[in-house]
Amino acid sequence: MTPDRSRWLTCRVRRPDARLRLYCFPHSGGSPGEYLRWAEGLPGIEVWGVQAPGRAGRLWEDPYERMDELVGALVTEARFTGPFAFFGHSLGALVGYETARALRAAGRPGPDLLFASALCAPVHQPVRAPLSGLSDAAVLDAVQDRFGQLPADVFEDEELRGRILGCLRADFAVLDGYRHAPGPLLECPVVVLGGTEDTEPESGLRDWAAHTTGWSDLHFLPGGHFYLREQHDAVHRIVLDAVQRTGLPRAA
């Protein structure tokens, strides 16, 4: 069975002989494009991006504002075929985690590995004051303070800015409204990554280990919240090493 080529899942480099698929969940307001480029550094792995409404090829669709609705639609409409792993950055780590839980609740196979990047464990969420109710200017300022300068065309194109703000507000609402519900632990290993200059506390990152019966590792790489943009080679090595440790096939 091949992965669903639906509006939810996108792949840039198909590898029919790949023994592992890596599904990447982007950060707040993000699209899967930058993660799809990882295919060059992950030989033998087929990299897929999870594309939610309100961004990239689905920019003109209304985004979800609740975690249960977002994950419910994703699990209903998309197929994850394996062996497979999830990689989620920031909000994407939380969406990937809840998707793994929802798959098991539906009686479907879950990921063989979960990579959680730049976000404290689900039990600690949300850890910051709500952002979804801020003014447009305050939302943009908050995003730039935490994530860095936005592209100039965001400020020059009013229509584009409105769509991006809508997506950001929706993603913030997903996180603002999230409350971790007790339930069965994951069984797959959880590999946690963080930036040495990010504001996510080490203790909160370490607590991902409490959400699985499998083993868990924590890696810190130089950089801030988006450390992985400068450290993609190191991220790829961590991914490949975790695949090998788990006993999943690794490219020669």
Instruction: Kindly report, residue by residue over 63-73, the tens digit of the pLDDT.
Output: 999 999 999 99
Q: Is 232 a catalytic residue?
A: no
Number of domains in the chain: 1
Helices (runs of H) and strands (runs of E) counted in the chain: 8, 7
Does 212 reside within a domain? yes
CATH number at residue 117: 3.40.50.1820
What is the arithmetic mean of pLDDT over 95-113? 97
Does 20 reside within a domain? yes
Q: How far apart are CA 107 and CA 193, in angstroms?
A: 29
Q: Which domain holds residue 60?
A: 9-124+185-245
**pLDDT class of 2 with cuts at 50, 70, 90:** very low
Closest C-alpha to 213, from 245, 185, 239, 193:
185
* Tens-digit pLDDT profile for residues 125-162: 987 766 667 788 787 777 777 666 665 666 667 777 77
Residue appearing with tokens 């810190």: 220
Q: How far apart are CA 140 and CA 133, in angstroms?
A: 12
**Which strand (E) or helix (H) includes residue 13?**
none
The confidence score (pLDDT) of residue 158 equals: 77
| Backbone angle region of 243, left / alpha / beta, with phi > 0 → left and psi within -120 to 50 → alpha | alpha
Which residue out of 31, 90, 117, 216 is catalytically annotated? 90
The confidence score (pLDDT) of residue 67 equals: 97
The DSSP letter of residue 186 is: B
Does 114 reside within a domain? yes
The CA-atom distances, in angstroms, between 118 and each of 15, 221, 225 are 28, 11, 6
Which residue out of 27, 89, 219, 225 is catalytically annotated? 225
The confidence score (pLDDT) of residue 247 equals: 85
6's tokens = 């639906």
Does 180 reside within a domain? no
Does 166 reside within a domain? no
Q: Is 135 a catalytic residue?
A: no
Does 46 reside within a domain? yes
**Which strand (E) or helix (H) includes residue 221?**
strand 216-221
The confidence score (pLDDT) of residue 138 equals: 80
Does 90 reside within a domain? yes
165's tokens = 């703000």
Closest C-alpha to 85, from 214, 221, 252:
214
Percent above pLDDT 90 for the chain: 65
* Tens-digit pLDDT profile for residues 177-234: 999 999 999 999 999 999 999 989 999 999 999 999 999 999 999 999 999 999 999 9
What is the arithmetic mean of pLDDT over 240-252? 76
Does 229 reside within a domain? yes
